Amino acid sequence: MKLAAYDPDVSAALDRELAREREGLELIPSENFVSEAVLEALGSVATNKYAEGYPGKRYYGGCQFVDEIETLAIGRAKALFGAEHVNVQPLSGAPANLAAYSALLKPGDTILGMDLSHGGHLTHGHPVTFMAGIYAFVRYKTAPDGTLDYDHLRTMALEHKPRMILVGYSAYSREIDYAKVKAIADEVGAFAMADVAHIAGLIAAGEMMNPVPLFDIVTTTTHKTLRGPRGGMILCKAAHQKAVDKAVFPGLQGGPHENVIAAKAVAFKEALEPAFKEYARQVRKNAKVLEEEFLKRGYRLCFGGTDNHLLLIDVTQRGLTGRQAQHSLDSAGITVNKNAVPDDPRGPMDPSGIRLGTPAITTRGMKEGEMRTIAGWIDEAIAHHEDEATLSRIKGDVKVLTDRFPLYPGLSY
């Protein structure tokens, strides 16, 4: 029985979500639109199979075909990133990070990671997380100009003697010199780890530097710029293979979601195509145009601009908070997320900034000209954030634009 006939409530909600995605501008940098092939794999019969263990070493029978799927995903991920070993079973980025820590560290070990307000992630040591109670996190920050101060990072490493140095961020917009970080880690006898959840697709396409050949361990999500299903992945040196696999299963997870792994395999195949390289190149081009447009309009861009797919913008100088800007832009059909800025004096639920990025709108085919138009709409919506008529008019203009870039034609629930 079709979903619409059996559960019209869920069907209707999904159709409304589809309409929202089609008719609006999705600028949250951690979101993207997967292909219909990825959607098909995600909703496949692989969802029915329980497969604790790894290919060729399962605890259940009947795994020969999901073994094929998982092996394909692993092989394609290795080819994408030049990895010696890949585990595609983590359910998301946070579990992947916890597995990476538990694979290489002991409780109480020190991790040197980025401060959340300077672009880090909750799982990089924020006190509210479970892992902050297991490991001793020391947090570094960016320099006043928004760059990473590698000399200061080295000084902190020499002082605190961490067992692991962690780079890779959720709101940082600049390139990372992985060779410098690895040299610091080697000097103090620490593991080098990168969390590339946001920029994995740009790395796979050769648009940003790749830490995988250098670092001990690298974690990522498989959505965001990699344009796959929501999930996680760990890439590591062969020397850590056994520890990583044991940390994921049975250490932290039970049966893997083989339907998600099937969708990961499809997304990795797509990322190996020449068209994906052009996509990633356009993602960065589009982000640079947004940077230029916002700088031209006098906005303060955190970290001075962008080298990747995202921008972090302080909106308080425009007389509103990040939460207010997010709400007003929602009313205008433009989706961003409120976000803390470095050393933000405001709380996380009503911070000073907004974070926006180009992966999803680039997937739809939008280029430089559309970026200039979009930047103008964002500026206008922020300037008239209490004017419902202006926001409504922008939302209508947004729909005219998005109608030119169809999303999932023919799909309905």
Quote the CA–CA distance of 376 and 344 in Å, as a whole number: 26
Q: Beginning with the edge strand found earlier in the chain, give each strand of the sheet holding 164-167 in spatial order.
A: 85-87, 232-236, 217-221, 191-195, 164-167, 110-114, 136-140
pLDDT computed for residue 237 by the predictor: 98
pLDDT computed for residue 116 by the predictor: 74
Q: What is the mean pLDDT of residues 52-58?
A: 97
Q: How confident is the model at residue 115 (pLDDT cuts 50, 70, 90)?
A: confident
pLDDT in tens, 63-104: 999 999 999 999 999 999 999 999 999 999 999 999 999 999
Quote the CA–CA distance of 3 and 177 in Å, as a whole number: 49
Q: What is the mean pLDDT of residues 196-214?
A: 98
- Residue 401 assigned to a binding site: no
- Residue 257 assigned to a binding site: no
Q: How confident is the model at residue 117 (pLDDT cuts 50, 70, 90)?
A: confident
pLDDT over 90 at 402, yes or no: yes
- Residues ≥6 apart with Cβ < 8 Å to 294: 301, 311, 313, 375, 379
Query: Taking Cα atoms as reference points, which of 216, 242, 244 lies closest to residue 232?
Result: 244
- Residue 122 assigned to a binding site: yes
pLDDT over 80 at 120, yes or no: no
pLDDT over 90 at 329, yes or no: yes
Quote the CA–CA distance of 399 and 23 in Å, as a whole number: 5
Query: Taking Cα atoms as reference points, which of 102, 93, 241 lies closest to residue 168?
Result: 93
Quote the CA–CA distance of 78 and 16 in Å, as a whole number: 38
Q: What is the mean pLDDT of residues 336-359?
A: 94
Helices 8-23 & 388-403 angle (0-180, nearest 10): 90
Q: How confident is the model at residue 142 (pLDDT cuts 50, 70, 90)?
A: confident
Is the CB of residue 83 less than 8 Å from the CB of residue 235? yes
pLDDT over 80 at 119, yes or no: no
Q: Which of 119-128, 146-155, 298-307, 391-400 has the lowest mean pLDDT?
A: 119-128
Residue 115 has which token pair? 């401060």
pLDDT computed for residue 408 by the predictor: 97
pLDDT over 90 at 395, yes or no: yes
Q: What is the mean pLDDT of residues 258-262?
A: 98
CATH 3.10.580.10, domain 20-31+282-403, yes or no: no
pLDDT in tens, 218-247: 999 999 999 999 999 999 999 999 999 999
Percent of the chain with pLDDT over 70: 100
Is the CB of residue 80 less than 8 Å from the CB of residue 271? yes
Instruction: Give the CATH architecture of domain 50-271.
Output: 3-Layer(aba) Sandwich (3.40)
* CATH code 3.90.1150.10 region(s) in the chain: 20-31+282-403
Q: What is the mean pLDDT of residues 142-170?
A: 92
pLDDT computed for residue 266 by the predictor: 98
pLDDT computed for residue 121 by the predictor: 79
pLDDT in tens, 277-314: 999 999 999 999 999 999 999 999 999 999 999 999 99
Q: Which of 40-54, 106-120, 181-195, 208-222 has the lowest mean pLDDT?
A: 106-120
pLDDT over 80 at 52, yes or no: yes
Is the CB of residue 168 less than 8 Å from the CB of residue 134? no
Work out the number of other CB atoms within 10 angstroms of the CB of residue 42: 23
Q: How confident is the model at residue 384 (pLDDT cuts 50, 70, 90)?
A: very high
pLDDT computed for residue 118 by the predictor: 74
Degrees to nearest 5, angle at CA 91 with 85 and 94: 90
Percent of the chain with pLDDT over 90: 91
CA 261 to the chain's CA centroid? 17
Catalytic positions are 50, 52, 195, 221, 224, 230
- CA distances, 58 to each of 45, 52, 117, 255 (Å): 18, 6, 42, 10
pLDDT computed for residue 99 by the predictor: 97
Quote the CA–CA distance of 361 and 370 in Å, as a whole number: 9
- Residue 240 assigned to a binding site: no
Quote the CA–CA distance of 238 and 249 in Å, as a whole number: 17
pLDDT computed for residue 163 by the predictor: 98
Total residue count of the chain as it appears in this document? 413
Quote the CA–CA distance of 31 and 14 in Å, as a whole number: 17
* CATH code 3.40.640.10 region(s) in the chain: 50-271
Q: Return the C-alpha torsion angle 411, 331, 328, 169, nearest 10.
A: -10
Q: How confident is the model at residue 122 (pLDDT cuts 50, 70, 90)?
A: confident
